[in-house]
Chains A and B, each alone.
Chain A
Amino acid sequence: MSRRKTNKEYEHTFAFRFFRWLNGEKDPYLNEVEMKPQHYEGPSDETKAEWEREHKEMLERVYDTEHNALLKFSRIAYRVAAVLFCIMLVAVLLITVSYLPPVGNPNNPADNVVAERYIEKGLKETGAVNIVSGMILTYRAFDTFGETNVLFIATTCVMVLLMLDDAILKRQEVKNDRRFEPKNDAILQVIAMILCPIIFIFGIYVILNGHLGPGGGFSGGAIMGAGLILYVSAFGFKSTQRFFNEEVYKVAKITALCMYGLIGSYFYFTGGNGIENHIPLGIPGHILSSGIILPINICVGLEVACTMYAFYALFRRGGL
């Protein structure tokens, strides 16, 4: 004998809400989620039309092709020459490619000693199952340090271009943050709550497994950076700054790059001067193996994650 619920009690149950949703009696988001149309703060349509008109007028005056025959001629000649030049360049490159030796032909002039040693002795000499990791982080560690610094200098340049003063940033925060996005989107927040931990763990996995399988610092760092970006777009900068603000960013970036530099320097200068370095290679296939690759991968991963997030934050609001 089942106990019948009163109507009032029934309205609180999951089944009631489920069937109400199924029958389409009530939109579950209505009055629950903020659904305000996006509010655009900026120049009005009239000022924009005015700008456009001025811009057009200026172009007409500067490039007055009707009265300036030379300009008209040079504009046409420039376009024709550009097209012709591109076609010519394409033709030259295609012809060149057709003369290149075919792939895999044993009579090719290319010398294979470099690739051969990477493939045949890579596992023994670097301890990394993933040959690519072994190659870029042990044999050619100096190039990769340069490449990591390319990322570093790129963020520095974006900072030069886009970073705003703290005072301006604070003022903008009140007025302008989330200009283009709805505030506290419930769907995004729930999804982000589920996805972010998974993304972070996956990123860490990819970084730590760089020497054992496909992956490594660059790809793992990119995944973690994507996770951070998802988090910040769901929960906003205020809550992100609780664990990732400019100080943390600076400390993480500088520590990661300096660690890489120190490990690298130790490796280069002991190697270059013929001194035995005391970096154990471990047993290939174990997580703690392959010498300098694992710590370098962690450093690169941190740096790449920081870079990705910094790019997003700088482009979005001009500060971290």
Chain B
Amino acid sequence: MDIIRSFPGMSIMLCLFAGIISSGMKRKAACYLNSALILAVTAMNAAVLYYTVVTGEAFVFVMGKFPAPWGNELRAGMLEAAVAVLFCVIMLLSVWGGRKKLDEEVEAGKHNLYYVLLDLLLSSLLALVYTNDLFTAYVFVEINTISACGLIMIRQIGRTLEAAVRYMIMSLLGSGLLLLGICMLYDLTGHLLMSDIHEGVLRAAAVPEYRIPLVVSIALMVIGLSVKSALFPFHAWLPDAYGYSTVSSAAILSSLVSKGYIFLLIKIIYRVIGFEFFCNTHIINVLFIFGIAGIIFGSLSAIKENDIRRMIAFSSVAQIGYIYMGIGLGSEWGMAASVFHIFAHALGKALLFIAAIGLTDVSGCSRRFIEITGSGYRNKVAGLGFTVGSLSMVGIPVFAGFVSKLMFAKAAVGGYEKMLPTLIALAISTILNSIYFMKTVIRIYTPNPDASYGSVTIGGEKQYALVIILFVVFNIFFGMMSQPIADVIHAGIAVLG
């Protein structure tokens, strides 16, 4: 089974090849190539997941003839493989679910470019997940940023262009801070390989005068990545970018791109800085406080919103807040809860975006709440999808969101001074979440007496219905079968450090 060890590298290279070749293809061919690619990559990563779970340890794959500190290296454990599989699956479903909308909203000659962007985005996400080298991570962060920008602006209306410019500025600021942090760490340790930097950090931390540059470089990296993943005070770019881009892009951006950066941050915390050292700096408290602020303010903004897609976008701010709150708890349980919430949010948010587009389509393409009244009857499968997504986000048992909230609460009980704020934040946010999500669910199931809009049957949009049902099944699967998944996450975190 040694061939499985090459699969992480092979899947990254396959994505890059597919992107390159798609740029010379027609729309249909590029589209089929994209689906085939994602299926193949999913299978490969599932094999890696199986292999790592069976062997119970992580493995290293050297990219080239020269071993680690001199050459490039990839490293795969259970957690990396699980995240990679999830990313592939969600990307495939998001692309399928938004294909009809994509055909309408993107200019005729540019469809193949969309698939180029998707292929390269997938390659960069996989590289962020698997890399064991900070500079490789930076290179693929660049690819990720630029392709995400292209995904926003491929639907060319004023709001998306403005959103793309905002996204570009904020995201490049984040990349710049990340690069500054990497440079300082390189100056202190002389390494770019994660495990070797970790040794260097331990050496430098022993000298008191190097503590300041060490902490500043960690802070720069953390701030850079949190700007890119839209932690609360840096979320100004998010609502328009998610709210107006074409629906596949919105689903992919919210559930994959920001999560890729968060996963890189988790890798940096464990593999570069060391969890102990990171917990002893005060950065963790800052993350905790801004996470909680993000939960509250994101939810409040979502309540005020009168546009269903922007409401879902603001809800992302709140959910990202949860993830940072879990990281900020500073315990392994908190981290496991964060990772599970990455899964739960990715599944729920992609489902919500795709279901919302079905609802607005049967309401004359208006996103205002008054227009979508009763749309749950007009497009039944979208109504079902939206309801399940909402219930999952609010945290109702049986759905994925409940398990992550339970894990957060469990993690909070273990911590001392952070227990009360976490539990209060969870309680408040559950109420706020249910206000805006249940309001929407009630509205889409309120019969509209003067319904002048046509309705859609499931048979009419088979692919769309299939995607929604698969998402619903995954959500329920993650909610019901949480224990094995949590076990994999715990084992993955254990081999990460």
Does B437 interact with chain A (Cβ within 8 Å)? Answer: no
CA–CA, A142 and B19, complex, Å: 16
Using Cβ atoms and an 8 Å threshold, which residues of chain B touch A109? Answer: 188-189, 200, 203-204, 207, 210
Does B497 interact with chain A (Cβ within 8 Å)? Answer: no
Does B397 interact with chain A (Cβ within 8 Å)? Answer: no
**Min CB distance, B288 to chain A, in Å?**
21
Contact partner of A159 among B69, B72, B110, B209, CB < 8 A?
Answer: B110
Does B466 interact with chain A (Cβ within 8 Å)? Answer: no
What's the dominant secondary structure at chain A's contact region? helix
Contact partner of A140 among B72, B107, B113, CB < 8 A?
Answer: B72
Contact at B154–A160, with CB atoms within 8 Å? yes
Contact at A160–B64, with CB atoms within 8 Å? no
Contact partner of B216 among A96, A261, A265, A272, CB < 8 A?
Answer: A96
Does B212 interact with chain A (Cβ within 8 Å)? Answer: yes
Nearest chain A residue, comparing its CB with the CB of B155: A160
CA–CA, A147 and B212, complex, Å: 32
CA–CA, A251 and B25, complex, Å: 11
Contact at B191–A261, with CB atoms within 8 Å? no
Contact at A160–B66, with CB atoms within 8 Å? no
Does B276 interact with chain A (Cβ within 8 Å)? Answer: no
Does B147 interact with chain A (Cβ within 8 Å)? Answer: yes
Using Cβ atoms and an 8 Å threshold, which residues of chain A touch B184? Answer: 96, 100
Q: A96-B184, A101-B187, A101-B188 are in contact. Are A161 and B146 (CB under 8 A)?
A: no
B 456-492 to A, binary, CB cutoff 8 A, 1 in contact else 0: 0000000000000000000000000000000000000
From A47-55, A184-192, A220-228, A252-260, the one touching the partner chain is: A252-260
Contact at B66–A156, with CB atoms within 8 Å? no
Does B65 interact with chain A (Cβ within 8 Å)? Answer: yes
Does A145 interact with chain B (Cβ within 8 Å)? Answer: yes
CA–CA, A258 and B69, complex, Å: 27
CA–CA, A253 and B21, complex, Å: 10
From A12-20, A114-122, A237-245, the one touching the partner chain is: A114-122
Using Cβ atoms and an 8 Å threshold, which residues of chain A touch B127? Answer: 146
CA–CA, A258 and B146, complex, Å: 21
Contact at B66–A163, with CB atoms within 8 Å? no
Does B53 interact with chain A (Cβ within 8 Å)? Answer: no
Q: A101-B188, A154-B146 are in contact. Are A146 and B140 (CB under 8 A)?
A: yes
A 90-120 to B, binary, CB cutoff 8 A, 1 in contact else 0: 0011011101110000000111111101100
Contact at B63–A142, with CB atoms within 8 Å? yes
Contact partner of B23 among A156, A265, A268, CB < 8 A?
Answer: A156
CA–CA, A270 and B64, complex, Å: 7
CA–CA, A67 and B133, complex, Å: 56
CA–CA, A141 and B66, complex, Å: 10
Contact at A261–B17, with CB atoms within 8 Å? yes
On chain A, the number of residues with a Cβ less than 8 Å from chain B's Cβ atoms is 57
Using Cβ atoms and an 8 Å threshold, which residues of chain B touch A272? Answer: 5-6, 9, 61-64
A 108-152 to B, binary, CB cutoff 8 A, 1 in contact else 0: 011111110110000001000000000000111111011101101
Contact at B213–A99, with CB atoms within 8 Å? yes
Q: A96-B184, A112-B190, A269-B10 are in contact. Are A142 and B109 (CB under 8 A)?
A: no
Does B305 interact with chain A (Cβ within 8 Å)? Answer: no
Does B289 interact with chain A (Cβ within 8 Å)? Answer: no
| Complex interface residues of chain B between 173 and 209 (CB less than 8 A to chain A) | 180, 184, 186-192, 196, 200, 203-204, 207, 209
CA–CA, A239 and B65, complex, Å: 46
Q: Taking beta carbons and an 8 Å cutoff, which residues of B are in contact with A?
A: 2, 5-6, 9-10, 13, 16-17, 19-21, 23-24, 61-66, 69-72, 107-110, 113, 116-117, 120, 123, 127, 133, 135-136, 139-140, 142-143, 146-147, 149-150, 153-154, 156, 180, 184, 186-192, 196, 200, 203-204, 207, 209-210, 212-213, 216-217
Please name 23 pairs of A and B residues whose Cβ atoms are closer than 8 Å in the assembled complex, sorted by A: A100-B187, A113-B190, A114-B190, A138-B65, A138-B66, A141-B64, A142-B63, A145-B16, A146-B143, A149-B143, A150-B142, A150-B143, A156-B147, A157-B150, A159-B113, A160-B153, A254-B20, A254-B24, A261-B13, A268-B64, A269-B10, A271-B65, A272-B64
For the A-B complex with A111-B190, A139-B66, A141-B64 known, give 17 more contacts whose Cβ atoms are closer than 8 Å.
A99-B212, A109-B210, A113-B69, A114-B70, A142-B136, A149-B19, A150-B139, A153-B116, A156-B116, A160-B153, A163-B109, A251-B24, A271-B71, A272-B5, A272-B9, A273-B2, A273-B5
